[in-house]
Structure 1
Amino acid sequence: MITDPELGEGWKTEALEPAPSADRPAPRERAAGGPGPRSWLWALGGAVAASAVWAGGLYAFGDRMAEPEISYRASKNLCQDFKARALSGITGNMHTKKPVNHESDQPAVYVARCGLENAGKEGVASDFAVVAQVGLHKKTDPSPEFDAPDLRVLAYAGAVRTAAVPDLGERAVMNVMSGDRWLILKVLDGGVVFTVEAGADTLAETNGRPATDVDAVQAAMIEDMRELMSALKK
């Protein structure tokens, strides 16, 4: 993959909370009510929920511009369309636990969202989560805003490694942050913005799940994204 020159060193900011490092490990369990050690999961879910609200407001004045030609159908149940087969091969079946599925149909944008978690062994919580989102932009072309950095993610995660993903839609970008434990793949194609976010407590061997690396997770995300786009293509 090729580093995007526009979103390389410039796409960095200070984290609201210090990022874990070799001499500053990730925080452990906090009391109920706070993000705690799985704060990546809290941010992961909040990211997609917030983006759906933002999309509806951002394009409220979209009738001033030409409507894009949408090349994909609206998903009425994204958790049925998003199989996550490749990621399940790394994390364990992502459809074992009850999925979280939402849709929001606004005049300017239709958003479908699916949240999945792997199933830990008995008495062990899940340690890997995936959120997929598909936004069909009915009033304005989303491409001018596609490359804009998500300031909410930057404020939470701090430094972000960004790389363009070739041969995937019109444009695609992979963001890696939080010590390689939070990844976001975003694709623009045919008037639609696709997003797959993945977050893990650790990529080391844990709870019977084999160790993996960030490259394997990225490859699985890209494969699952291709399958989702194919499933929704008109």
Structure 2
Amino acid sequence: MSTPPQQPPQPADQPSQQPVVPPQPTAYPYPSPQSAPPGNFYAQPTLVGQPAPGQPVQPGQFGQAGQPQPGNPYAQAPQYGPGVPVPPPGGGGGAGKAVLWAAVGAVVASVIWAGGVFLIGGKGDSADLRGYSAPANMCSSADYSSFKSEYPQDDSTPTKNTLKNPALDESYCSLGLKKTGSTYADAYLTMQLDLHRKTDPGPEFTAMWKNYGDSHTGYDVSRVSGIGDEAYLVSQDTTGGSSTSGSRYATLAVRDGWVTYEMTYSAYLSSYDQDKNPPTLSSVTDWLKKDAKATLGQLKG
């Protein structure tokens, strides 16, 4: 499953006070004849009609070399596995045939039932992608219009990449956000969509994002309703009231079926002019919720 995206590095000529961003958040049912204890019937299997070890041979029962005499009805008795009743002796009697056919029918029914369960289970295990598709260019396909009022300048050289694989489709975009008149990026935005084709990301997604605050200090985690099957907002503000130091960071992680989407914002106050304060964390989280919901709606067929 996908992991929290790293925050893009700052330009080399700007001082850096980055927040501590977490690292990228992986048939034989019976006893062996050799190991069976003495007296265990698995240890010394015998054919029907043969004497057990240590038992005397009855006169007239066996000929030379222990071979059964012709005409003995038990001489060539068929072998049956555990749980399948052995037809009683009696030749072509109706009761014997009934028991035999009942046994065969039970075995056939078991095979058919097992095959049916296997086929049904296969369908149930198919990927739940819900019509989503991973775009070739995430930067032009994602909606981040809510940030435009604060950062109207476009990034002319965003970073984007894709992955197409039978197990995973992925689209990624990282771009710089610029205020009017800014030469360098004032903040950064990353977006990543993952289509998990072979494994259900649900359990790991919940474990990682719901409990993010337990494994990473200094982050606030809250459940977000109304987006996908489940969504979590992870945020951190280290400015401490300062307008020149610290940072603001927020990630919205969403899972919809076997599809996950993360949208991350990060801003470093050292990158801002004193007259260009960054937006509040509350504003940023509202923008993330609005734009993530819009993006998922656009990418869902």
Does structure 2 retain, via aligned residues, the 8 Å contact 1:204–1:211? no
Structure 1 position 77, deviation (Å): 0.9
Judged with a 3 Å threshold, the aligned counterparts in structure 2 of structure 1 residues 133 and 209 are, in CA distance, closer, same or farther, namely same
Judged with a 3 Å threshold, the aligned counterparts in structure 2 of structure 1 residues 112 and 105 are, in CA distance, closer, same or farther, namely same
- The residue that corresponds to 1:187 in the other structure is 254
TM score, norm. by length of structure 2: 0.53
- The residue that corresponds to 2:138 in the other structure is 78
Once the two structures are aligned, what percentage of the paired residues are identical?
Answer: 20
Instruction: Provide the C-alpha distance between the structure 1 equivalents of 2:137 and 2:185, rounded to a whole number of angstroms.
Output: 23
Instruction: Provide the C-alpha distance between the structure 2 equivalents of 1:84 and 1:143, rounded to a whole number of angstroms.
Output: 26
Does structure 1 retain, via aligned residues, the 8 Å contact 2:151–2:179? no
Residue 175 of structure 2 aligns to a residue whose secondary structure is strand
Instruction: Provide the C-alpha distance between the structure 1 equivalents of 2:144 and 2:204, rounded to a whole number of angstroms.
Output: 27
- The residue that corresponds to 2:292 in the other structure is 225
Residue 83 of structure 1 aligns to a residue whose secondary structure is coil
Instruction: Provide the C-alpha distance between the structure 2 equivalents of 1:215 and 1:120, rounded to a whole number of angstroms.
Output: 19
Question: Among residues 156, 172, 176, which one is paired with 2:235 in the alignment?
Answer: 176
Question: Among residues 200, 215, 218, which one is paired with 2:267 in the alignment?
Answer: 200
Structure 1 position 126, deviation (Å): 1.2
- What residue ranges of structure 1 are gaps of 5+ in the alignment? 1-28, 52-57
- The residue that corresponds to 2:18 in the other structure is 39
Judged with a 3 Å threshold, the aligned counterparts in structure 2 of structure 1 residues 70 and 212 are, in CA distance, closer, same or farther, namely same
Does structure 2 retain, via aligned residues, the 8 Å contact 1:181–1:203? no
Instruction: Provide the C-alpha distance between the structure 1 equivalents of 2:177 and 2:237, rounded to a whole number of angstroms.
Output: 20
- What residue ranges of structure 2 are gaps of 5+ in the alignment? 1-9, 27-121, 239-246
1:114 maps to amino acid = C
1:114-193 equivalent positions in 2, closer than 5 A: 114-119=173-178, 124-149=183-208, 158-179=217-238, 181-193=248-260
1:67 maps to amino acid = S
Instruction: Provide the C-alpha distance between the structure 2 equivalents of 1:168 and 1:203, rounded to a whole number of angstroms.
Output: 33
TM score, norm. by length of structure 1: 0.66
Give the total of aligned pairs.
185
Greater share of helix? 1
Task: Write the deviation string for residues 115-143 of structure 1: whole angstroms up to 9, x where unpaired.
Answer: 01123566742120000000000001111
Q: Which has the higher contact order (CA 8 A, sep 6+)?
A: 1
CA RMSD for the aligned pairs? 3.6
Moved more, 156-165 or 185-194: 156-165
